Structure 1
Amino acid sequence: MDYETFIGTVSRRSRVPRDAAEALTRATLETLAERLTGGEADALASRLPKPLRAPLAAPAPEAEGFGLDEFVDRVSRRSGLSPHEARQGVRAELSTLHDAVHDDEFRPVPAQRRPAFGERVEARD
């Protein structure tokens, strides 16, 4: 999936304008990087278009353990979206990310291991 398609899909699924979808995408990937080990983030980033790789640079070698509410709070603060918009946006972003990479590459994402996060990627379109 190329960058324009990715952002367009996030915009449509989250029902936010394109510029907000770009901010949402960056915020979600940065927050996801905090939940991944460095190796997991690198592996996932390698499957994405170049403009989406930098936000997945893991800030630390170890993954942080935080839940869905904290994930959404971080995305909301980083993106400037309301908590409600961020919650919808996280679902749109993670489902688009899942579509963009193969299942075996998405499966290690810790967000997928927790039921609350798994629900975020179930609803598409």
Structure 2
Amino acid sequence: MNYDTFVDQVARRTRTDSEQAVRLTHATLETLAERLTGGEVLDLASQLPAPLQLVLKPGPSIEAAQRFGAAEFVARVAQRAEIDETAAREAVRAVFTTLREALTGGEFDDVVTQLPRDYRQMVEPALTPGGSVLRRA
């Protein structure tokens, strides 16, 4: 999936313009990069368009994932995007759904397995019928 298509899909799902969709996408991906191991961030970035790869570049000292739950994830996205938490929750769902469509070879499932169960409400809309479920407790 190319960058414009990714942004357009997020904009459509969040019923916002492209500029806001870019902010929502960046805020979500930056937060996701903090929550994933460095190796998984690199794997994820390798399948995304160049402008989104730049958002996901892990630093040299972040091989370990930060441990925080879904509520903190939403709060971080809200702060980064300068929106309220209800809008942030919807934005995260939209970006996860778009990621699912953009990624190949089971990469989305690899991302999902690094997230605890309390992320289920944000991730499940992105899962296809009969798709993978969260395997972490």
TM-score in terms of structure 1 length:
0.90
Counterparts of 2:82 and 2:109, CA distance in 1: 29
Q: % of aligned pairs identical?
A: 45
Superposed CA deviations along residues 53-103 of structure 1, whole A, max 9, x for unmatched, are: 011122411101111110000001111122111110000001101110025
* Cross-structure match for 2:16: 16
Counterpart residue identity of residue 63, structure 2: P
Work out whether residues 46 and 53 of structure 2, in 8 Å CA contact, stay in contact via their aligned partners in 1.
yes
Counterparts of 1:31 and 1:69, CA distance in 2: 12
User: Secondary structure at 1:88's aligned position in 2?
Assistant: helix
* Cross-structure match for 2:78: 76
Counterparts of 1:7 and 1:24, CA distance in 2: 9
Moved more, 110-119 or 82-91: 110-119
* Cross-structure match for 2:66: 64
Moved more, 46-55 or 97-106: 97-106
* Cross-structure match for 1:123: 125
Answer with 1 or 2: which has the greater Rg: 2
Work out whether residues 37 and 63 of structure 2, in 8 Å CA contact, stay in contact via their aligned partners in 1.
yes
* Cross-structure match for 2:90: 88
Higher relative contact order (CA 8 A, sep 6+): 1
Counterparts of 2:7 and 2:13, CA distance in 1: 10
Work out whether residues 35 and 67 of structure 2, in 8 Å CA contact, stay in contact via their aligned partners in 1.
yes
4+ residue runs of structure 1 moved beyond 6 angstroms? none
- Return closer, same or farther for 1:35/1:9 CA change in 2, 3 Å cut-off: same
How many pairs are equivalent? 124
Moved more, 41-50 or 113-122: 113-122
* Cross-structure match for 1:37: 37
Extract unaligned runs of 5+ from structure 2.
Answer: 127-137
TM-score in terms of structure 2 length:
0.83
Work out whether residues 37 and 64 of structure 2, in 8 Å CA contact, stay in contact via their aligned partners in 1.
yes
Counterpart residue identity of residue 33, structure 1: A
- Return closer, same or farther for 1:31/1:19 CA change in 2, 3 Å cut-off: same
Counterparts of 1:10 and 1:83, CA distance in 2: 17
* Cross-structure match for 2:103: 101
